[in-house]
A and B are shown apart, each in its own frame.
Chain A
């Protein structure tokens, strides 16, 4: 069964459209425009052209020979979203949504960003297609990711600091939504993950599912059979739903989502929604949410800013409840170690987010002789070099 939301945007009980009435007309207008675009061959052809000639698709599926040897178990393949323009899978979604925005006649795009990767991808696409671009970013994240703030500005975007709440991603999303509510006439809200009100979780998945479609073809070519397990990190869950989606009907393929285990199991120490969360409503969707006993959204922690969010995308909640996908968590320390291992065995420095997926595959590979593992390397590690330096101080001496 291919999971599709119902007309109200529900994946089982999850998802939906929990937005203030003032946002209802804009999300309905967006849904209509997107459904038309999806059926339009000219739209799909233009998007395919941009993905190929600008973003760099298809991305390779690399056999990880030395990593496989070093673990002595499953044969590991890496889906190389890290090789895309701007360094991560985020560009797939940004190109798709920006074309929708153009169809809708919008001239201004607003977006949120946590670590800055979605903001950079949005600013890039706005430069390419000629939109005014405003990116909301928590002031705490701006401090931690100064280089990405500068990249966005170099690309012509206006970056606005958000000093409310926890000053991180969820506050940036709220502020971007407020901007959209007040400027719906000319403004498009380009949400970066498979989160928020319908139609975003469905639309973002549709723009990311190319990852799994390519990977499925590539692994069949390379091995003549499907993988035993597919690994992806899960923040909001856009790269994970992207790589999982084509494999959902393949019952023999295990789908493994890896959340941020952070620095411990206490409240505020991690972002593992299936470990400490329960269903709730945040920013337009009903899904698993880290919250306190009074229904206030909890603070989260991860060494990786891209996984540091209190809610998981609603389609993942549904895959979880149906036992079609398994969700686990890797700690900060495990992700850092996996990043070092991948760097040394394969010459690939992954993004810290992607390193969580690598960590889980590394954990399971030795016991999985004859198995084939497919790991989505959703982004490259350039943006995380400062964090790697802080954590591998011994490499920084001399």
Chain B
């Protein structure tokens, strides 16, 4: 079992909910990422999604697109992200999930990536454009090296597809709160509850929900329904606005803490 599996076991036994934080690795520059991750963990993030920048991020809204452009301009490649992960792992046991698109991974080599990622202390991988139909080889390579493969389920996913998502997912299933790209929203659609019911009927895996979550109230609302909540663009925007501000780490830490308190409101 990976650190991801252990995390969800621990959350369940302690009766807690998890906060998952996404940031684009290498934004604003690779050397800064480990400290930003540590700040998020101090603020209460239970799992970190490390985004690997890709030149053509079709599933991302403008905030994460810009972060990817900054990271690429700063020389962030998949190999660099693996080094970043290794640096984080030397100082922390926080579960790490690589979050990217298929092409950089194909170019690196599926088996080589799985082997190197495991070696660097990465626990799993989520590729947004690797649909379950096309994912067999990828999932097999990751599982061979003991890594989790997390797939997305959307409110529009058919039951047939949800079954495939559940079959190929290990660690947890990532529910998309609504249709659309990544990015903050004022209110969340009512589509989450029916999706949670449909997926629970198919699998016992823990569920996390993401896309559009940026406020403690969102965390409170969704924390009642799933095991973990993912916040991405809101953290990335904070980094974008404060990248040359010495208090960036403190701001990330306190925003993570504020979000985490949302779960308390739900209890």
What is the interface residue range for chain A against chain B? 35 or more
Q: Cβ of B133 < 8 Å from any Cβ of A?
A: yes
Q: Which positions 203-217 of chain A face chain B at CB distance < 8 Å? A: none
Q: A182-B181, A184-B156 are in contact. Are A281 and B103 (CB under 8 A)?
A: yes
| Beta-carbon contact of A281 and B101 below 8 Å | yes
Q: A21-B151, A21-B154, A184-B179 are in contact. Are A295 and B58 (CB under 8 A)?
A: no
One digit per residue, 1 when the CB lies within 8 angstroms of any chain B CB and 0 when it does not, for chain A 1-42 equals 000000010000000111111101110100000000000000
A15 to B61, CA, bound (A): 25
| Beta-carbon contact of A22 and B180 below 8 Å | yes
| Beta-carbon contact of A18 and B102 below 8 Å | yes
Report which residue of B104, B176, B179 has the largest number of chain A beta carbons within 10 angstroms of its beta carbon: B179
Of A17, A21, A25, the contact of B152 (CB 8 Å cutoff):
A21
Q: Cβ of A99 < 8 Å from any Cβ of B?
A: no
Q: Cβ of A71 < 8 Å from any Cβ of B?
A: no
One digit per residue, 1 when the CB lies within 8 angstroms of any chain A CB and 0 when it does not, for chain B 39-81 equals 0000000000000001111110110011001001000011100
One digit per residue, 1 when the CB lies within 8 angstroms of any chain A CB and 0 when it does not, for chain B 88-112 equals 0000000000000111111110000
One digit per residue, 1 when the CB lies within 8 angstroms of any chain A CB and 0 when it does not, for chain B 115-137 equals 00000000000001111011000
Q: Nearest Cβ in chain A — how far from B228, in angstroms?
A: 18
Q: Which A residue's beta carbon lies closest to that of B156?
A: A25
Q: Which positions 141-175 of chain B face chain A at CB distance < 8 Å? A: 151-154, 156-158, 161, 165
| Beta-carbon contact of A28 and B158 below 8 Å | yes
Q: Nearest Cβ in chain B — how far from A293, in angstroms?
A: 7
Q: Cβ of A365 < 8 Å from any Cβ of B?
A: no
A316 to B234, CA, bound (A): 42
Report which residue of A16, A22, A171, A289 has the largest number of chain B beta carbons within 10 angstroms of its beta carbon: A22
Q: Nearest Cβ in chain A — how far from B148, in angstroms?
A: 17
| Beta-carbon contact of A280 and B106 below 8 Å | yes
| Beta-carbon contact of A164 and B69 below 8 Å | yes
| Beta-carbon contact of B179 and A181 below 8 Å | yes
Q: Count residues on chain B whose CB falls below 8 Å from chain A CBs.
A: 42
Q: Which A residue's beta carbon lies closest to that of B129?
A: A18
B179 surroundings in chain A (CB, below 8 A): 22, 181-182, 184
| Beta-carbon contact of A20 and B59 below 8 Å | yes
| Beta-carbon contact of B58 and A164 below 8 Å | no
A96 to B102, CA, bound (A): 31
| Beta-carbon contact of A165 and B55 below 8 Å | yes
Q: Nearest Cβ in chain B — how far from A10, in angstroms?
A: 9
A284 surroundings in chain B (CB, below 8 A): 58, 129
Q: A177-B58, A178-B181, A296-B54 are in contact. Are A20 and B107 (CB under 8 A)?
A: no
Q: Nearest Cβ in chain A — how far from B139, in angstroms?
A: 14
One digit per residue, 1 when the CB lies within 8 angstroms of any chain B CB and 0 when it does not, for chain A 151-185 equals 00000000000001100001100100110011010
A133 surroundings in chain B (CB, below 8 A): none
B151 surroundings in chain A (CB, below 8 A): 21
| Beta-carbon contact of A170 and B181 below 8 Å | no
Q: Cβ of A221 < 8 Å from any Cβ of B?
A: no
Q: Cβ of A396 < 8 Å from any Cβ of B?
A: no
Q: Cβ of A294 < 8 Å from any Cβ of B?
A: yes
Q: Nearest Cβ in chain B — how far from A317, in angstroms?
A: 15
Q: A164-B62, A282-B56, A296-B55 are in contact. Are A24 and B131 (CB under 8 A)?
A: yes
| Beta-carbon contact of A24 and B161 below 8 Å | yes
A171 to B56, CA, bound (A): 7
Q: Which A residue's beta carbon lies closest to that of B65?
A: A164
A20 to B107, CA, bound (A): 19
One digit per residue, 1 when the CB lies within 8 angstroms of any chain B CB and 0 when it does not, for chain A 262-286 equals 0000000000000000011111101
A8 to B135, CA, bound (A): 13
A280 to B56, CA, bound (A): 13
One digit per residue, 1 when the CB lies within 8 angstroms of any chain B CB and 0 when it does not, for chain A 89-124 equals 000000000000000000000000000000000000
Q: Which A residue's beta carbon lies closest to that of B62?
A: A164
| Beta-carbon contact of B69 and A24 below 8 Å | no
Q: Cβ of A229 < 8 Å from any Cβ of B?
A: no
| Beta-carbon contact of B152 and A20 below 8 Å | yes
| Beta-carbon contact of A174 and B134 below 8 Å | no
| Beta-carbon contact of A18 and B131 below 8 Å | yes
A170 surroundings in chain B (CB, below 8 A): 56
| Beta-carbon contact of B129 and A295 below 8 Å | no
Q: Nearest Cβ in chain B — how far from A296, in angstroms?
A: 4
Q: A17-B134, A24-B157 are in contact. Are A294 and B58 (CB under 8 A)?
A: no
Q: Nearest Cβ in chain B — how far from A148, in angstroms?
A: 23
Q: Which B residue's beta carbon lies closest to that of A298?
A: B55
Q: Nearest Cβ in chain A — how far from B190, in angstroms?
A: 15
Q: Which B residue's beta carbon lies closest to that of A9?
A: B133
Q: A25-B156, A289-B103 are in contact. Are A18 and B130 (CB under 8 A)?
A: yes
A8 surroundings in chain B (CB, below 8 A): 133
Q: A174-B56, A174-B57, A282-B56 are in contact. Are A294 and B104 (CB under 8 A)?
A: yes
A281 surroundings in chain B (CB, below 8 A): 101-103, 106, 129
Q: A18-B102, A280-B106 are in contact. Are A178 and B156 (CB under 8 A)?
A: no
A145 surroundings in chain B (CB, below 8 A): none
A177 to B181, CA, bound (A): 10
What are 25 A-B pairs with beta-carbon distances under 8 A? A18-B102, A18-B130, A19-B131, A21-B131, A22-B179, A24-B157, A24-B161, A164-B65, A164-B66, A165-B69, A182-B181, A184-B179, A280-B103, A281-B101, A281-B103, A282-B56, A282-B103, A283-B56, A284-B129, A294-B107, A295-B54, A295-B105, A295-B108, A296-B55, A297-B56
Of all A-B residue pairs in the complex, the 8 with the closest CB atoms, nearest first, are A295-B107, A295-B104, A25-B156, A182-B180, A21-B152, A20-B59, A294-B77, A296-B55
Since A283-B56, A294-B107, A295-B108 are in contact, a sample of 7 more A-B pairs with Cβ atoms closer than 8 Å, ordered by chain A residue number, is: A21-B165, A22-B156, A164-B62, A164-B66, A178-B58, A182-B179, A182-B180
